[in-house]
Structure formats: C-alpha cells, structure tokens
Amino acid sequence: MNTPQGSAGAQAGERQAGGADPAFVIVTGMSGAGRSTAAKALEDLGWFVIDNLPPGLLFAMAEEAGKVKLAADKVAAVVDVRSLAFTTDLNAAIEELEGRGVRVRVVFLEASDEELVRRFENVRRPHPLQGEGRLVDGIARERGILREVRANADLVIDTSSHNVHDLRNKIVAYFGGEDRPGLRVNVVSFGFKYGLPVDADLVVDCRFLPNPHWVPELRPMNGLDAAVRDYVLGQPGAKEFLDAYEEVLRVVAAGYTREGKSYATLAVGCTGGKHRSVAMAEQVAGRLRDRGMEVQVSHRDVGRE
C-alpha cells in the first residue's frame, strides 16, 4: 500500500530508517482496570494521549501526530469496549497502522472479576455493558469481547492488587525511558496457593526445592533475608536450575526481540510466595541484569501470611 507523502506512516518510516524504534501505543482493557490512571501517567511522562478514541480514528490520529512532528514513541490512544464492533474495528485499525509503517504496541489492563465488582460498587456506577443485567454479566460480556485483543497484546498488566500509585509506578517503569533499547523484564515471585499471576508470559515452579517454612529459624524470614537465600541456593538442583533457566531466557529473549516484543513478565512460584520463589526470583533478575537487560523485581505475596 502506498503511503501519502507527509503521513504518519511515511514519517514513521523515516524515523525507523534513522535507527529509532517508534511505536504508537494503544491502551485498552477491562473497564475499571485502570485505563484512566495509565493515561494520566503517560501524560505526565510527556506523551500525547487521546482518551476514549474510537478504533476507526486511530490512523487519523497517528497521521495528525506525524504532521505536527510529535515523536512517534510519545503518542498513545486509550480505546475501550464502548465502541461498536470493538474487536473488529481495533484489529482493522492496528493492521492499517502497521501497513503504513507505524509500529503498534498494545497495552492491556485487566483485573479479577472480584476486584472489578468491588471497584464498580465503590464508585456506584454500572458497568458500560451491564444493560438491564447484573454487574457480573457486564464484566463477563466485556471479557468475551476483549478475549482476542488480550491474547494479541504486547503487554498485559494485572491491576487486581495494585492501587493507583502502584499502577502509575509500573507505567513509569515501562514507558519512562523508551529510548533505552532491548527487552524490559518484570520478574515477579508468587505463591501458587494464591493463584498464578495472570499477566505472566513465563512461569516456573520452585517447589522442587526444600521448603524453608519447615526450618523453624527460617520460617519467620523471607527470601530477601540472607539466611533464607543461602539455604535455598545451597540445595541440590538450585544452581543447575538457574543455569538452565538463564539459557532458556537467553533464547526466549532473543526471540521476543526479533518479534518486536518489548516487555516480558517472568513469574517464579513456590507454595506461599515467601521463601523459595523470592530468593530464586532475585537470582534470576540478577543474572538478567548481568546480561544487560533492564529488569524490575516485585514480590507479590510476601507479607500475605
């Protein structure tokens, strides 16, 4: 497809030829999951953000951004489910943008049904797709409509356990330095008994290691304490696992980079998310940093017991 002279696609191509890596970011996801907070965080970082933009107008927005010479990696649109035929419209809009040479990145915000219900009840507002039904009916309908969008998203952020400050900090961590190259990795430890992190790209299980919970002097500590760390790393198989997983991540990270994936979440689990997963997550993060990757670490379930 030929791109009109002066359009966003042509200007994006010029930027890419110059070695930059521009991206038009689309923020979408479940109603109540934090889209407005994410948009405000991006604006505070100097991004040009349009809220509640119908998918059919995405290319027009990118084109106008190009005309006024806005940096392509500082333009974002917030799109929600209220647009009719949302999934079809959004997918078609993304295809058009990419066909014109604009690299698109989709950020999907989500939360558990229970948390979404609580948030809607707190603000005493109906769900936009609720109609005459119950709140949970609107949430279920929205999940169905957004299923394909979520599956194809570049970055999924689960805000179930995040307040507005946590989400803002995560957006700043991901988008505060778009000029820095390479894959950005979030390593999160968790407890299987509290459920899998829904935004994880890769999940590993550390329950093959002896549990420090059964060592009385270690039970009140967590994996950030030196005594627990040394105990976990001293177990048979711990170093072998880290060596093997580091090699797996080297291959995966190279593939993600080739496919244009900029962000990845690695989840490291044990039973309660307090001892083994915390210690091993810190080790995985350290090894990735040694490889030059940008890494942040969070420990979802520490303090839950």
Angle at 69 between CA 176 and CA 108, to 5 degrees: 40
Residue type, 135: L
Tell me if 83 is assigned to a ligand binding site: yes
Tell me if 272 is assigned to a ligand binding site: no
Q: Report how far residue 226's alpha carbon sits from residue 232's, in angstroms, rounded to the nearest whole number.
A: 10
Tell me if 33 is assigned to a ligand binding site: yes
Q: Report how far residue 142's alpha carbon sits from residue 133's, in angstroms, rounded to the nearest whole number.
A: 13
Tell me if 269 is assigned to a ligand binding site: no
Mapped onto helix, strand or coil, the DSSP state of residue 155 is strand
Tell me if 80 is assigned to a ligand binding site: yes
Tell me if 35 is assigned to a ligand binding site: yes
Tell me if 232 is assigned to a ligand binding site: no
DSSP 19-54: T----EEEEEE-TTSSHHHHHHHHHHTT-EEESS--
Tell me if 293 is assigned to a ligand binding site: no
Contact 165, 288 (CB under 8 A): no
Environment class of 178 (CB within 10 Å of its CB; exposed 0-12, middle 13-18, buried 19+): buried
Tell me if 131 is assigned to a ligand binding site: no
Q: Which residues are part of a known binding site?
A: 29-36, 80-83
Q: Which residues are part of a known binding site for ATP?
A: 29-36
Q: Which residues are part of a known binding site for GTP?
A: 80-83
